[in-house]
Structure 1
């Protein structure tokens, strides 16, 4: 009986540490290719932003993103010829934020082609919408004395 109780406690502990079912489902939905179709701000005005320490909002719009959830990696491609074009590698993690709202923390870290990061710095975004055809990330940043929310809207590419 004592062995059974210990086994039950161990199994319960392992199950409680597992990846939430909603995160697993989100990884299935995010898999594939997406287009970053639109970037908007919560406030009106002119903002000179560099997203993900890479390029401007204008360069990111219409960029192609590929997510490979089985190894939490991906590539995004900047296609605008007026920008520094090319592929950028990243790793990502989806972490459950609030089961009541369904929002998640989306962690993205730029890397090289081998998955190594030069600075080990990443970005925390909120995954506020995810369906089979649309995804939205939000990031709140300070613009002067007031916070501004940047919304990044993605459309799934039919393959």
Structure 2
């Protein structure tokens, strides 16, 4: 009897997993991407450090790998003018509106073993996703006004 109850509870919990939108998105995200360009919602020159790591110039052209079955990934900065090398992260897709299919992308930098030194993460809106393009938007506030950072990826 206890086994049957345990089996029913397990089946119920498993059926409450990620939505179909999230499952489908993870299939598309899987693989290698290039962060091809970064732009801002306001004109001008800005000194922005992305993911508490590097500047826009360092991130443009960086290569990213997403492994959705364990929600991990890497990105590699190879610009000689920057601190180069492989970085590691965990990520989660979190649906915010089931009707529109909009969701957030949560990224948490880690070390090679998947542990975070700071336990700090970053929330971005996943604004578009196709088999060949993906766009994240991060909103920060400057002088009380929203400032949007668009990160454009190609596969």
Matched, 1:34 2:42: no
1:19-98 correspondence to structure 2 within 5 Å: 19-98=18-97
Change (3 A) 1:11 1:112: closer
Matches of 2:139 and 2:94, distance apart in 1: 18
Change (3 A) 1:155 1:112: same
Runs of 4+ off more than 2 Å: 9-17, 99-102
1:128-143 correspondence to structure 2 within 5 Å: 128-143=127-142
Matches of 1:125 and 1:33, distance apart in 2: 19
State the TM-score, normalized to the length of structure 2. Answer: 0.90
Deviations 1:16-65 (A, max 9, x none): 62210110111100000000000000111121100000000110000000
Q: What RMSD, in angstroms, separates the aligned Cα atoms of the two structures?
A: 1.8
Matches of 1:113 and 1:68, distance apart in 2: 14
State the shift of 1:102 in Å. 2.2
Change (3 A) 1:116 1:43: same
Secondary structure at the counterpart of residue 100 of structure 1: coil
Gaps of at least 5 residues in structure 2 are none
State the shift of 1:10 in Å. 6.0
Q: Which moved more, 1:100-109 or 1:65-74?
A: 100-109
Gaps of at least 5 residues in structure 1 are 1-5
Matches of 1:78 and 1:152, distance apart in 2: 15
Deviations 1:85-133 (A, max 9, x none): 0000000001111123322110000000000001111000100111100
Matches of 2:80 and 2:73, distance apart in 1: 22
Matches of 1:15 and 1:24, distance apart in 2: 13
Aligned length in residues: 149
Matched with 2:153 is 154
State the TM-score, normalized to the length of structure 1. Answer: 0.87
